[in-house]
Structure 1
């Protein structure tokens, strides 16, 4: 198909495999339909981000709205607020900002110019992440949230990573790797302690982890390729 003409074999196989696993879980374990929709739209979103494609934001709108609703049902208030109050409106901001920073299409089909973070930028980022996580954990504990330390760290790192994504920094992927590990832990703990039939959430975050590693490698490659074209 035309929309897949610049996709690599790995990207096609990975997306197809993830879709099959999620559909299997939906029928085998009677997972929720909303969880299936959230998981599939989320996977499409992150794969398109890894490719530097602006269209990721359309699937991001669906994923953030559905995931916020699911998280609220499990009293994961940090995740619910992050997605409903931050991620969802940011999808529209991202559409605008990426559209204003398009680059010419290359053989890889990326849509935007990629930037890199300085050492000073990393130092500031780490300081904000540590302080922000400690403060937000106290807030989540106050309102009766579950697994507040994991929830807080995942939320704060997600916000920072999303800002880096809007600014088109390749280093966003290092944070997404950490976020995905935390989120997998969060959902495993939640489903064990509370029960529930949303195994799709664990599968989704596991897939996100693999994709974030791929995204980091791909964005560094894109950055080097774009630098070579400007020299």
Structure 2
């Protein structure tokens, strides 16, 4: 396989750092887009899985959202809506056509749902993988993460129930993989259970629980090649 350096992409008023991992022998149609979570996360956490997919013949792309890694911007000014716009821009540059596989860790579980909800993208998506995914209230979509209203809504019991993720995932009829740690100290069990129920509605669904893993699944998978291969196989339909 070959890994591009660090090409940058102008999008949403920022410069986004991207890495494209090309398989040595392309054996799968389309491209996988892998998206990291919030906090101090970045595309480096997704690279091991991206390389695993490329080793299986699937072209893969990872990038840093604004305010993360080597991309420009301030994390506090990022929002769920901006995340979706930035992911879309990466797809338009690096995967403008053909089938798509979307992978989202933690906060990017919502970003996967947001992309699926855009018909011109959603119609191309053949498979999704969600690692310890989160879901967020509709009302916070446009709010910067630093806004007090964003945090206040997140702390409001049950606010996540208004997320668009549930109806979007319930309508998805491709291949869906839910990857969960044995112990998740971040995502409430009721959120996970609601996402599980939505994914079971129409998708060809696989649920993987990784023994010994915690919420930081990208980092954990980098040190557990056997489980990383299991996740890749499930996403590609080889399991």
Q: What TM-score range do you get, normalising by the shorter chain?
A: 0.3 to 0.5
After TM superposition, the score normalised by the length of structure 1 is 0.32
Q: Which has the higher contact order (CA 8 A, sep 6+)?
A: 1
More helix by share: 1
After TM superposition, the score normalised by the length of structure 2 is 0.31
Q: Which protein shows a greater Rg?
A: 1
More strand by share: 2
